[in-house]
Amino acid sequence: KGSTDKAKSPYFFAFKWNKKPRQNYVFVFYVQKENSFWIIPTEYMAGKDGKEISDPDKNGYCSIDFSMPKHREMYKDFKDNWEILRQ
């Protein structure tokens, strides 16, 4: 999923996911504003607490906002980390 630098919220991503981790399945988010990728395995996302990831009332809809300090800290090891795809 990508976001252009002209987007209203270039760090915000909404997506649908059943919240069941799958081995070798990753989400790749691209933020054009800072020319960076976030490569996040589903196993990691499923293990994190956070309303946007764990709220069962959203019917599988999730969101992540890399402008939030909480999310930047939570996922900092995955920014531009292409080694994850080689594991």
3-state secondary structure string across the chain: CEECCCCCCCCEEEEECCCCCCCCCEEEEEEHHHCEEEEEEHHHHHHCCCHHHHCHHHCCEEEEECCCHHHHHHCHHHECCHHHHHC
pTM, rounded to two decimals: 0.77
Among 50, 58, 7, which Cα is nearest to 31's? 7
| Tokens encoding 58 | 């959203």
pLDDT digits (tens), the chain, 87 positions: 666 667 788 888 888 777 777 888 888 999 988 899 999 888 887 665 434 454 555 677 778 889 899 888 988 999 999 998 887
